[in-house]
Structure 1
Amino acid sequence: MLRASIAATVFFSLLGICFGIISGSFSIVFDGVYSLVDACMSLLSLVVARLIAAAAAIKPVSKKLQERFSMGLWHLEPMVLCLNGTLLVSVATYALFNAVGSILDGGRELEFGWAILYTLVTLIACVVMASVEKNANEKINSDFVALDIKGWIMAGAITAALLIAFIFGYLVQGTRLEWVSPYIDPVILAAVCVIIIPLPISTIRQALADIFLVTPADLKEHVEEVAKAFKEKHGLVSYRAYVARMGRCREIEIYFIVPPDAPSRTIQEWDALREEVGEMIGDKGPDRWLTVVFTGDPEWAE
């Protein structure tokens, strides 16, 4: 999905830059630059996704990769998502300032015919790509693909707004409203930027929460319920639970305090108890990092 998205995005970004120069539309040039930035970030996302899959595999592809990143590479995912969202916001903010400056300077003239042709073709492509990726991500369930879908939706929204504005500009040529045509390009660009700038904010906020290991409330509540039920079932003294999220990875550490007079158990019995905890938590897979410790000394759990 990401490879197909990258190829399509690069093609339409270069097409947009060329058509923007030909038509004299800064909004189309912005559309091309925005798409090019998105393509670069999608390429980086693809590399990171492959690295995460390779590091989390039961038999890692690269032994050196496993040795250098023994705790996995899940932490790269929120870092890339944060960088991606920040770049998209930055590009849109820069375009907004340019649009405002152009409005104050009296707008700009452009060739509406070329502009309409480009936006029509690009809008169709955005709708097709977003639909295909959305259907595929129902099975993949990837944050990277989800963000890429948002990118196509945002690009489609930009293009649709441009198309409407350019058609209006074309229709007012030779009428008493022709004086507004130089302002159409910068005004619609400014409006689009104001709309799309807040869209990646939620992604940036979640990525920062993952980077700083902010405890996810829902996962913490679930693990606490499991640990409490397990403690009461097996007559343990207490427990300590620690959880964090890094991208798609869920890190869970649970320390159970065993009574001093507890009967001795074999390694197989302790492992069976750990397996029971794992089954109660659920969501078993390569993206769950679970550590279950039994100790008689509370200091080991702090």
Structure 2
Amino acid sequence: MKVSKVLHTSVWGALAFAVIGLVWGMISSSQMILFDGAYSMIGVLLALLSLLSLRYLKKEDQAHFPYGKESIEPLVVIIKSVIISVLCLLAIISSVSEIAAGGREVVLSHALGYAAFSTAGCYAVFRLMKTNSQSELIKAEAAQWLMDTWLSAVVLIGFFIAWVLGQTPLTFLVPYIDPFMVLIVSGYFLTVPYSLIKTNGRELLRMTPSKDIREKIASAVQAVKSSYRMEEAVLRTSKIGKTLYVEIDVVVSERSLVYTVEEMDKVREELEEKLAGIPLEKWITVSFTKDVKWTV
């Protein structure tokens, strides 16, 4: 399935859950369900942001972006993660206020019905995102839907516990269940945006890719270096979005087996073949020099 179609599915799915959650939350007087609806509404806006960025990424603009637009992907993911973090913080503040005020009465029959519906629906959309996660934007959407699935599952368990407590002498605890669930879920959800910000922040700053990718590249460079008796090969690499940037400055000498432009191109071809197993688009630059100062 195309990236744009997957993102459109995410937008419509989030919109449906947002409307249902907000209406159902008001009917059942549940802060937790209202939070779920608000989260889904934020999801609509963030999915639209992903669609707009995807459309912009597809536009050719070599004059202004000679090195591509891949940095837009991690930037969008960071913006989305910051917005989700703010929503979670606001929810934590609200839930603490509710607990201090004595909790909130909830229509449990309505709340249980919504929680069951939301858990199943969010998981279905998450699976669709997960099986089509060929883009960092879709991976971020999938993470968001997984968060929503866990949110709905926790809500379902929480409301069931509240219903059980309502049949016991501990019924006085029931009003605290709803804001307590918001507090716990929001606190946990803050860890997911943090992870996304950390990963995509590294890409935005053009830091090195993951350890396994670095090791594969280093191994390929070392093999070519030995094969052609190169004096030195200085490697620089970074990953932005789905593009892997590899820059290699090769120092040759009289004993090296690289003399002509054709042989230099052969080195480039061998490196490209050795890196073919890395599932990313590659931007490979190999420079040759006899003076080590040009590698610094």
Q: Distance in 2 between matches of 1:263 and 1:169?
A: 76
What does residue range 235-274 of structure 1 map to in structure 2 within 5 Å?
A: 235-259=229-253, 265-274=259-268
Report deviation, 1:79. 1.2
- Counterpart in 2 of 1:192? 185
Deviates more, 1:160-169 or 1:205-214: 160-169
- Counterpart in 2 of 1:201? 194
Q: Distance in 1 between matches of 2:90 and 2:116?
A: 25
1:4 to 3, 9, 27: 9
Give the CA RMSD over aligned residues: 2.4
1:284–1:133 Cα change, 3 Å: closer
Q: Name the TM-score, length of structure 1 as normaliser.
A: 0.86
Question: Is the CA contact 1:260–1:296 (under 8 Å) kept in the aligned structure 2?
Answer: no
- Counterpart in 1 of 2:152? 159
Q: Secondary structure of the equivalent of 2:104?
A: coil
What does residue range 69-84 of structure 1 map to in structure 2 within 5 Å?
A: 69-84=65-80
1:99 to 84, 95, 99: 95
Consecutive unaligned residues of structure 1, counting only runs of 5 or more, are 55-60
Return the letter of the residue paired with 1:132.
L
Q: Name the TM-score, length of structure 2 as normaliser.
A: 0.88
Q: How many residues align?
A: 290
Return the letter of the residue paired with 2:76.
V
What does residue range 197-236 of structure 1 map to in structure 2 within 5 Å?
A: 197-216=190-209, 217-236=211-230
Question: Is the CA contact 2:237–2:245 (under 8 Å) kept in the aligned structure 1?
Answer: yes
Report deviation, 1:265. 4.3
Q: Distance in 1 between matches of 2:126 and 2:147?
A: 10
Report deviation, 1:221. 2.9
Report deviation, 1:170. 4.0
1:174–1:236 Cα change, 3 Å: closer
Consecutive unaligned residues of structure 2, counting only runs of 5 or more, are 1-5
Q: Secondary structure of the equivalent of 2:244?
A: strand
Report deviation, 1:104. 0.8
Query: Is residue 14 of structure 1 aligned with residue 19 of structure 2?
Result: yes
Return the letter of the residue paired with 1:162.
V
Identity among equivalent pairs (%): 27
Q: Deviations over 1:130-180 (max 9, x none)?
A: 22222333xx3x332222222222112111222232234345547533322
